[in-house]
Structure 1
């Protein structure tokens, strides 16, 4: 007997939106006050964010990954681990600037057969805004897993264009809460 997806829990997950340091960005000056990104030093000259091409080539996405209890005591613990695994970055390479107050949810694509579909209905994502301390892209050869085969800087709207459809609404919500859409 199969458990209906609606009765399954969401998988706890973290997601990192990376920015570069820059000053005097005209677009950023238009971001409403009292949002996380109302300060220009959180985004680069074109308000770009870091995305990675998944190794299965199913789309470009922000670095993300599951919270592994009890190893990860908090979402921040999971974030530090996932960033090291996926991007090869150490905590000294970036700053965590903010965590959204509430998680963002999305449902898994039921046509995608994977191990999580039997256990979870989707993901409960804790979104973090992180500032990369280097002008260079992360060196994926330092990553400890093969989640991404490429990374690049894109505009927030381009991040939406590259994401798989079932995550799109979550990306719109997260980027909106960050003041980027």
Structure 2
């Protein structure tokens, strides 16, 4: 018997934090995923039980880019959600989620580029760069683009030189 594919409408969203990391020049950190060709994104990851979005953001920065040298500037006023494309439902996150619901935080990077190390214990990225705000959403995979446009609309004014 063929394995039954879950109905996406019955699956919950994965609670997650997304981080808009802003450097001294007002540019945004993005990294290219190892598992999806040309898929750039800002750091993001799950929020553990009992963790605040701010705590999760600093932990995720450490896990994904090797540094938590950042100061919280602001949090999004609401949770932003996106659905996975149909071909990924049931294949990522153990098949338990239809997409992610994210609390976004803007942080000022307080380190130097030498502090960033994407060769972490469990690498998710194989390249990274700082991009100007007006170039950000064009780099993002289409299924996340609307969420990134909302993040830019709400938090983008913080991406100014320090």
Instruction: Tell me if both proteins adopt one fold, taking TM over 0.5 as the criterion.
Output: yes
142, 145, 155: which is aligned to 1:165? 142
For residue 117 of structure 1, report the CA deviation from its aligned partner.
7.1
Deviation per CA, 1:21-57, whole angstroms, max 9, x where unpaired?
Answer: 2xxxxxxxxxxxxxxxxxxxxxx2xx42110111123
Q: Does 1:130 align with 2:107?
A: yes
Superposition CA RMSD, Å: 2.2
Which residue matches 2:128? 151
Which residue matches 1:33? none
Q: Which runs of 5+ in 2 are unaligned?
A: none
The TM-score with structure 2 as length reference comes to 0.83
User: Structure 1 residues 6 and 51 mapped into 2: Cα distance closer, same or farther (>3 Å)?
Assistant: same
Quote the Cα distance in structure 2 between the aligned partners of 1:137 and 1:165: 31
User: Structure 1 residues 169 and 158 mapped into 2: Cα distance closer, same or farther (>3 Å)?
Assistant: same
User: 2:39, 2:140 within 8 Å by CA — same for their partners in 1?
Assistant: yes
Q: Which runs of 5+ in 1 are unaligned?
A: 22-43
Which residue matches 1:32? none
Give the number of equivalent residue pairs.
Answer: 153
Quote the Cα distance in structure 2 between the aligned partners of 1:138 and 1:55: 20
Quote the Cα distance in structure 2 between the aligned partners of 1:101 and 1:51: 22
